[in-house]
Amino acid sequence: ASAASTLGAAAAESGRYFGAATNSFMLNRQPHATVLNREFNSIVAENEMKWYHTEPNQNQFNFTAGDQLIAHARARGMTVRGHTLVWHAQQPQWAQNMSGTALRNAMINHINRVAGHWRGQIHSWDVVNEAFADGGSGGRRDSNLQRTGNDWIEVAFRTARAADPNAKLCYNDYNTDGINAKSTGIYNMVRDFKARGVPIDCVGLQSHLGTSLDPTYQQNIQRFADLGVDVQITELDIQQGGNQANMYGQVTRACLAVARCTGITVWGVLDPDSWRTGAN
């Protein structure tokens, strides 16, 4: 919470948003709620806007939890990030079992219905999450979505633009925090999208970090910004260790140094709620 105060003050002073991942069932639980409402001006659902949650059975949609988060945010003047329209993980079982044209059409329908339901209420959507492979290839990750054809990402972005024309459309990934083969693969995709007029507005650097920060972190933010997209730090959390507080500072300063780095979101509010249960 004290790191959040410092980060949030810096972000807010500069006009950037400062967000936290949360869940609808935590909105009234203390001390989570007090810290969330006091320190943050943006929220994102840690899980409740994902495919398995919003469309548990094909064409049967569940927007209850997402609606609650949005109502909470709107009542307090907070903005909402949407996470995430399409991802290889946390798909409902019916989609996991699908392939080819049926899956492609299901993806398009999902984006239309979900982005359409929350049209006008989402600051930024993670349209596609984690589609690139780890390691040195710089290529796509294999998945049922990737096997529908390499154009699945641009189809997702075009569909999202039509469904919610005012949301910023982001590509979001991890292990992309410095300049490396994976972030360069994404960089090349964004450059290609901009050249061909495929709608994309932002790149999310998740920033799940260990005990040191890649020295090219700021340079990496800058090179994406130079392509004409915003950069958002979307899932920041840093492993405990001697360098933790210093690293939160480094990340914040790197974002503040780049005009198109428009916001920082931390992945959870309090240690006991973190998905990284082994590390404070």
37 binds ligand G3I (CB under 6 A): no
90 binds ligand G3I (CB under 6 A): yes
Query: Would you say 157 or 174 has its CB closer to ligand G3I?
Result: 174
- Given 6, 14, 37, 47, the residue binding ligand G3I (CB under 6 A): 47
Closest residue to bound ligand G3I by CB: 275
275 binds ligand G3I (CB under 6 A): yes
93 binds ligand G3I (CB under 6 A): no
Rg, Å, the chain Cα set: 18
Query: Would you say 222 or 244 has its CB closer to ligand G3I?
Result: 244
230 binds ligand G3I (CB under 6 A): no
60 binds ligand G3I (CB under 6 A): no
89 binds ligand G3I (CB under 6 A): yes
130 is catalytic: yes
- Which of 48, 55, 130, 154 is the catalytic position? 130
Query: Would you say 8 or 268 has its CB closer to ligand G3I?
Result: 268
Question: How does DSSP assign the chain, residue by residue?
Answer: -HHHHHHHHHHHHTT-EEEEEE-GGGTT-TTHHHHHHHH-SEEEESSTTSHHHH-SBTTB---HHHHHHHHHHHHTT-EEEEEEEEESSS--HHHHT--HHHHHHHHHHHHHHHHHHTTTS-SEEEEEES-BPSSS--SBPP-TTGGG-TTHHHHHHHHHHHH-TTSEEEEEESS-SSSSHHHHHHHHHHHHHHHHT----EEEE--EE-SS--TTHHHHHHHHHHTT-EEEEEEEEE--STTHHHHHHHHHHHHHTSTTEEEEEES-SSGGG-S-TT--
Asked if the bond preceding 159 is cis, omega within 30° of 0, the reply is no
- Given 8, 111, 235, 262, the residue binding ligand G3I (CB under 6 A): 235
Q: How many residues touch ligand G3I (CB under 6 A)? A: 9
Query: Would you say 14 or 96 has its CB closer to ligand G3I?
Result: 96
Query: Would you say 64 or 166 has its CB closer to ligand G3I?
Result: 64
Each residue 190-229 as x (binds ligand G3I by CB under 6 A) or -, in order, gives: ----------------x-----------------------
46 binds ligand G3I (CB under 6 A): yes
Is-contact 194 229, C-beta < 8 A?
yes
Binding site for ligand G3I (CB under 6 A): 46-47, 89-90, 129, 174, 206, 235, 275
Q: Which residues are catalytic?
A: 130, 235
